Structure 1
Amino acid sequence: MENDSDVLLAHRLADLAGELALRFFGRRPAARHKSDGSPVSEADLAVERAMLAVLEEERPGDAVLSEECGALRTTSRRRWILDPIDGTIPFLAGARDWGSHVALEVDGALRAAVLTRPTEGVRWWAVQGRGAFASTDGQPLSAARPLRIPGATVPLGETRVGGFLMPGSPVEPVRGRVRWVESPVCLVADLLEGRADAVVDEGGHVWDRAPAALLVREAGGRVDDLCGGSRLDGRWLVYAADGVADGLTGLLRDAGV
């Protein structure tokens, strides 16, 4: 990490996002659909404005990529990647599986990441080269619990896999070849904490994926874009325990993805 204060700032942004979002949660904030059909609410916009204001004060020269405002100050070698409320649909529905994403990228490499679930009072975070951790909100550094993804060795048919799939996804038939799992809170956290063996992500955006990618790698898992790399801006991304990654990605490729 170039500057340990970046880690503290990432947590500060996550704190702010969670506090503001909870003020709107359960109160039916005004919402509309964007051009791509996805919803955005006044809560998303308020949280984003607050996070951007902190970055403007604390890191005025850094670039930003955020879901609602897009790219800002694109020439900097340092870029903050934000999703003010990831999971706006469950947020508006009063469900639990939503939170905020914060990541810092320097020279194209992810350096720090925070993923939260404010209704649960928990977060998962990582620093490049230093590991991945779970914490309670409020004291994320002093109460950190190290994370390590178990190296699963079960047969492919017993592999616990969850995912974010598009309607009509070619992966649908694959569900019957594995143990498909759901999560009421966070599939990526289930992988990090040993309750799942892999997560398949179809059609996500960089701001959706950046924290998960660093968390999974720092916890000893694999991140695969099905094209021989781990790009965050393609159609597919697979997060997996090391022992099942090759078998699962092979199954997905055989399905024609």
Structure 2
Amino acid sequence: MTLESDLALANRLADAAGAAIRPFFRADFAREDKADASPVTEADRAAEMAIREILESERPDEGIIGEEYGATRESAARQWVLDPIDGTTSFIAGRPTFGTLIALMQDGWPLLGAIDQPISGERWIGAVGGTTQFGDSPAATRRCGGLDSATVATTSPHCFNQEEGEAFLRLVAKCHANQRQGPIYGGDCYNYGLLASGHIDIVVEAGLALHDFAALIPVVEAAGGQMCDWEGNPLTAESDGRVIALGDSARLDDVLEALHEG
């Protein structure tokens, strides 16, 4: 398989997921809570099934790891990692800040990723060693001269445990001490797309599963940024779910110091 064919397939998978999601947006749909108390809707399941049907037809030897339907061919070297709706709570609330996440991994390392917002029609797709495209144009992160001028985002402070929350607030204090507004809350995967396009400087989160972050890595890094765990290590299938995304990797030591100085 070539990178071009993989990217073309990822775009078609995102198209199929979006077509499955849009009829349910701000409409009536069935929902329930999973064992971990997170919500799932028939839109989540319809989108993942639409992706899986294409993969089973066109890539029958490659693995699939999906949030809603689990793992297929787990021993395959190449695996597609799917989160049909990242930000289901936002989807349920009618907020178009959720997204479909599609990643292709090779031996546990992300090769390409897509963030697709099917309501606004925005899509970021990037490949390791290549570029990130936002629509028809390349996306690029922005430089950040220091934490005191950085814009920080996270989906929700309630996703942190007490220790993680205190670490995040130390970072916020350094970034927003001289700013009238605080950090950006909400956004889920959409924040990482905004970071890749140079609108946000730092995203910090915890408690993420592989399907939550695998697609984000190629998007951010091919746009010039960096993603790692809270120790500064690269993210892989074995990571603990605590992630940092930086538009400017020069700020990594500053962020790590803020998170760990307590």
TM-score (norm 1): 0.89
Which residue of the partner structure matches residue 240 of structure 2?
A: 234
User: What residue identity is the alignment partner of 2:240?
Assistant: G
Q: CA deviation at 1:35?
A: 0.5
Which residue of the partner structure matches residue 258 of structure 2?
A: 251
Change in CA separation of 1:228 and 1:243 when aligned onto 2, cut-off 3 Å? closer
1:158 aligns with 2:154: no
Which residue of the partner structure matches residue 71 of structure 1?
A: 71
Q: Deviating runs (4+, > 3 A) in structure 1?
A: none
User: What residue identity is the alignment partner of 2:218?
Assistant: L
Alignment of 1:72-221 (within 5 A): 72-135=72-135, 144-154=136-146, 156-164=147-155, 165=157, 166-167=159-160, 168=162, 169-174=165-170, 175-179=172-176, 180-182=182-184, 186-221=190-225
Q: CA deviation at 1:41?
A: 0.7
Which residue of the partner structure matches residue 14 of structure 1?
A: 14
Question: Where does the alignment leave 5 or more consecutive residues of structure 2 unmatched?
Answer: 177-181
CA distance in 2, matches of 1:172, 1:127: 29
| 8 Å CA contact 1:204, 1:235 repeated in 2 | yes
CA distance in 2, matches of 1:3, 1:235: 27
Which residue of the partner structure matches residue 38 of structure 2?
A: 38
Which residue of the partner structure matches residue 225 of structure 1?
A: 229
CA distance in 1, matches of 2:223, 2:169: 29
What secondary structure does 1:19 align onto? Answer: helix
Which residue of the partner structure matches residue 179 of structure 2?
A: none
Q: Deviations over 1:98-144 (max 9, x none)?
A: 11011111222222211011121110010221111101xxxxxxxx2
What secondary structure does 2:28 align onto? Answer: coil
Q: CA deviation at 1:67?
A: 0.5
Q: Deviations over 1:166-205 (max 9, x none)?
A: 1542335322332343267521122112221110011111
Q: CA deviation at 1:30?
A: 0.7
User: What residue identity is the alignment partner of 2:220?
Assistant: V
CA distance in 1, matches of 2:24, 2:212: 21
CA distance in 1, matches of 2:101, 2:192: 12
Instruction: State the number of aligned residues.
Output: 246
Q: Deviations over 1:2-40 (max 9, x none)?
A: 442111110000001111100111113110000101001
CA distance in 1, matches of 2:28, 2:241: 32
CA distance in 1, matches of 2:230, 2:168: 17
Change in CA separation of 1:228 and 1:51 when aligned onto 2, cut-off 3 Å? same
CA distance in 1, matches of 2:44, 2:192: 22
User: What residue identity is the alignment partner of 1:244?
Assistant: R
| 8 Å CA contact 1:197, 1:244 repeated in 2 | no
| 8 Å CA contact 2:232, 2:252 repeated in 1 | no
Change in CA separation of 1:195 and 1:213 when aligned onto 2, cut-off 3 Å? same
| 8 Å CA contact 2:103, 2:111 repeated in 1 | yes
CA distance in 2, matches of 1:96, 1:134: 17
| 8 Å CA contact 1:161, 1:197 repeated in 2 | yes
| 8 Å CA contact 2:103, 2:112 repeated in 1 | yes
| 8 Å CA contact 1:159, 1:244 repeated in 2 | no
| 8 Å CA contact 1:81, 1:207 repeated in 2 | yes
Question: Where does the alignment leave 5 or more consecutive residues of structure 1 unmatched?
Answer: 136-143
Q: CA deviation at 1:160?
A: 1.0
What secondary structure does 2:103 align onto? Answer: strand
- Percent identity over the alignment is 31
